[in-house]
Amino acid sequence: MADSNLILDFVFQHEVKRANQVFLTQPTGGGQTVDYTWHQMMDQARRMATHLKAQGFEPGARIAILSKNCAHFFMAELAIWMAGGTTVAIFPTETASTVAYVLEHSGASLLFVGKLDTWEQQKSGVPAGLPCIAFPLAPKTNYPTWDAIVAKATPLAGKVRRAPTDIALLMYTSGSTGTPKGVMHSFAAATAAAIGFARYIQREMGADAPIRLLSYLPLAHIFERALIECASLVAGSPHIFFADSLDTFLVDLNRARPTCFVSVPRLWLKFQQGVFAKMPPQKLDRLLGIPLLGRLVARKVLKGLGLNEVKLAASGSAPIPPALIDWYRRLGLNLMEGYGMTEDFAYSHSSTPSLTAPGCVGAPMDGVKVRLSDEGEILIKSPGQLVGYYKRPDLDAEVFTEDGYFRTGDKGERSANGVLKLTGRVKELFKTAKGKYVAPAPIENKFNANPLIEMTMVSGVGQPSAYAMVVLAENIRPKVGDAAVRAQVEKELTDLLKSVNSTLADYEKLQMVVIAREPWSIENGMLTPTMKIRRNRIETATEVHVEGWYAQSGKVLWA
């Protein structure tokens, strides 16, 4: 396959050569699934493309998808591309106001409504009069249905050719620091990143290794879109399974038996805490240290997680504690850490077995150029680089250097062999009353490595010292009504605070640990749809209490 091909060219080749190969497996509830071969997927996509073309939308019309991951997300995206449009995917957990903002800002001509949990709260965000189409697994609506439309339409014929400079998709950032921005990606950039990812997976797993993937991280996020969808559309060989719901996740995982599994630090941590809920960490650690028995125990743990056939495991989206990577590697899971952004199509850095180190995100991927600014900011030039921000040329001028490198906003350090270590966000750095900048992310990771803790936020702008706010692990939270448990938690966190402080410079040392009253979640607005903490929102929600916390003498406080 020539690299001058764009993503749709690869798709048309697989449509013919892999016509009867199952590409997508969709759960439909009650343990039932539907398989879609390449031919079946493309037949539906071509029929929907015919319908979209008949609407007379402008070239490059923005067509939105509001849906959890499902087979029809892939079909709709292909239909949009074949019909000459640009895809705008909206996170399925977004509020009505954000749905309204993205649809209005993008100038969407049509909306596909798919599999959703909170449609009743979201539907008020859809402008009156906007044409909508309901996927087969959508909540009950009065919209025309996908099945009814494709049943009447004839498949769009031929091999549609899109220009390399055409905008394939608008990716709206998840807005951890403010209003979502529309990142424009061309077909050329999307294809280049997809080819790079496909080659990386093949190289790490072996040319003939079967590739089974579980798609469950939001397809509205660049990580899943690039690594799972686009790389698979280019490669053709993977078999993609979808997750049905949170409640069926383990069943879905065991159905897929993934050989390549991608997750985010928050979920890797939850998997570990699920293991610890069944076996105390000290006992597991002791068993893993016993020759032969340790290997059997490790295999049993991975099988219980549904990850026993995984040959390549990856973590991205946010920094992961090095101790957590080490723990999975002790189990025999080859966990790699990667680094990418919406703006570079997630195609930037990745670990390999030879280029890896605790707390590092690996080396530049093929074709990626990187350098550090005088201030230590990471500057990237990636084959997957954005064209710019939709309707925001003012931002374009801010984020690119004169020679075309993208200013990531991340600070980092590079070793002699090119391995990159993230040391924090430029904008997250804050000053305490001591007048020196504190980088919260590395300190947060030290806390997150402890099994007692699910999430951490380090703050303290203008205060005498920084402090840490933590969310306790899910298995601990229901027990804190017991005085003995509370006392034990306080003791362990006091010891942890002392231990972490011993590794920090004087100006970084934390005064206290505050235990959050309730967990941070996507639903309460404290986490982005990709499970990053919304620092500003947490700080705003707790600012009335901060002075009172500093007035107390305790090292561990309950919010």
CA–CA dist 454, 266 (Å, integer): 8
* Res. 479 pLDDT band, cuts 50 70 90: very high
CATH value of 430-558 in 3.40.50.2000, 1.10.3720.10, 3.30.300.30, 3.40.50.410: 3.30.300.30
Compute the average pLDDT of residues 3-18.
94
**C-alpha to C-alpha distances, 554 to 459, 477, 484, 485, 557, nearest whole angstrom:** 17, 21, 18, 18, 7
User: Which CATH homologous superfamily contains domain 340-423?
Assistant: Luciferase; Domain 3 (2.30.38.10)
Query: Which is more confidently placed, 84 or 535?
Result: 84
* pLDDT of 3 above 60: no
Compute the average pLDDT of residues 229-236.
97
* pLDDT of 2 above 50: no
* Nearest one of 389, 384, 106, 360 to 226, comparing CA atoms: 384
Q: Say if residues 109 and 61 touch (Cβ distance below 8 Å).
A: yes
- The fraction of the chain above a pLDDT of 90, given in percent, is 72
Predicted pLDDT of residue 375: 86
Question: Which alpha helices (H) appear in 141-230, and where do they start and end?
Answer: 146-152, 187-205, 222-224
* Res. 1 pLDDT band, cuts 50 70 90: very low
Residues 6+ apart with CB under 8 A from 261: 213, 214, 307, 310, 312, 313, 314
User: What does DSSP assign to residue 145?
Assistant: B
Sequence spans of domains, the chain: 7-214, 340-423, 430-558
Compute the average pLDDT of residues 221-249.
94
Q: Is the pTM of this model over 0.75?
A: yes
User: What does DSSP assign to residue 157?
Assistant: P
Predicted pLDDT of residue 177: 54
Reply yes or no on domain 7-214 having CATH 3.40.50.980: yes
pLDDT by residue (tens digit) across 420-475? 988 878 888 888 877 777 889 889 989 998 989 999 999 998 888 999 999 999 88
CA–CA dist 144, 28 (Å, integer): 20
